[in-house]
Each structure stands twice: as structure tokens, then as C-alpha cells.
Amino acid sequence: MKKQKRIWISLLLSFILIVVLSGCKGGVGPKTAKINVSFYPNPVPYSSETGDWSFDVILSEINGIGVSLTSLKFDSYNQQGQLYSTQILDEEEIIDWFDSSYIPAFSTLQASNIYHTSTVLKYDILTVEGVDNNYYPIKATGRVNYLPKSKYWGKLYNACDGICSYTGEALDFYIDGAFIATISSGENLSIELAAGEHIFKVLLTKTQEVLEPGDKYEISEGWWYWWGCYNGTHP
């Protein structure tokens, strides 16, 4: 009986040791932080009031471990989905944006009124990197999309049908450096333009004299633009 009991005890201890070792090998590893990257709003609309796409960046720790942020990288992509530019923020710049480079457990950092003015961009990929309180490297990404500018129909007017130095003259209209049309005296042309500021240029058709070298004009609903005689045909 004593010998058999010792055998059973030895078998039991061996079984417990196997279970413990198996648990150590295949169990859950050390807990690490997890960052959720989000934006508000997303997608981001264009604001004709401020002339840009403005949004907030929100970084949230959701796994109960604090994180020290070391870098933020914005990869910007154009309308064709090609990488257009890259911006990298170091720890000091992160503090400028968020007032801190540390996210406590289950907490949030927010950078407000981040903006861009380029019509080229379609979306950004933000990559966040850091080290958590357990000294594990952390990496997370998020995507923010930009809505295209609203477009509005409006009219270009040649008001040279009044009484002035250019009475009866045809005019060439350019917008943002691109030729739009030659418009005869007293005529108008309906075109559609994206909201926001554009540069209008006007030339005398017959001599190519520059009459207006570059007039900045804000496009919104019901817009119109004219050049010519004050008493000519225009709104």
C-alpha cells in the first residue's frame, strides 16, 4: 500500500507539473496597451468660411495600459490614391498638438482644429507609435477622408456693352491660370466652379492687353463675376 501510494503521488505531481508547464508555454502573454485612432468629423467636409478642411484627431487607450507617444506620421494621398506627401511629428510636436505625449490607461488625447487647404488630397493615413508602461512598442493607424468641395453654377459677364474705353470689345476670361472662354460684349457664360477662392484674369481679346491681372474671388452659391463698363450688362 505504501509503495502504491507513492506511485500515485508521483503520477499526480508529474501531471500537475505538465499542466503548469503547458500553461506557461501556451497561456496569455503580457498585457500591452492598445490605441484607437479616430477623427471627427470623418469624412471631413470643406468649409467655405475658413477655406479649409478642419477636423479633430482623437487617440484613445482602450486596454488599460498607459502609453508614451514617440511619433505621429501623416501619409497624404492624392485623388488618384498615390502618396503625395508625408509629415512626421516628433515628441515635442506631439505635445504642441495634444498638450501631452502620454496617454494614461483608458484615457484620451485630442488635438482640435487640425486642417489642410490642399485640393489635391483625398485622404490621410495617420500612424501612431509609442512605448507602453510595460515597455512594449505600440503601433496604431487610422484613416481620415476628405470630401470634395461643393460646386456652384455661376456666370461670367462681359459688360463692355455700356459706355467706357472698351465699349463693344470682346474679352478673354481666365480662372486659376486656365483659359475659360472668349465672351463678346454684352454676353455672359454659365460655368460651374468649386467653392472657395479662385483667381480671375481678364484680357482684351484683340490685343491681349491684360485688363485684370489677378482678382481673387470667393465662389459660393449664386456667384457671378463681371468686367467692363459700369453701365454695361451685369447683375
Q: How far is CA 149 from the centre of its chain?
A: 13
Nearest CA to 41 among 121, 119, 144, 110? Answer: 144
Q: Does residue 139 sit in the same domain as residue 43?
A: yes
Residue 152: Cβ-neighbour burial (10 angstroms; 0-12, 13-18, 19+): middle
Domain with 89 in it: what CATH number? 2.60.40
**C-alpha cell belonging to residue 220:** 459660393
Q: What is the pLDDT of residue 29?
A: 59
- What pLDDT is stored for residue 159 in this prediction? 97
The parent domain of residue 221 ranges over 151-228
Q: Which residues of the chain have pLDDT under 70?
A: 1-29
Do 63 and 123 fall into the same domain?
yes
- pLDDT confidence of residue 176: 93
> Quick one: pLDDT at residue 14?
52
Q: Is the pTM of this model over 0.75?
A: no
Checking DSSP bridges between strand 151-159 and strand 224-228, what pairing results, if any? parallel
Number of neighbours of residue 33 by Cβ within 10 angstroms: 23
Query: What pLDDT score was predicted for residue 194?
Result: 86
Residue 9 lies in a domain: no
CA dist 135 and 33 (Å) reads 10
Domain's final residue, options 112, 145, 178: 145
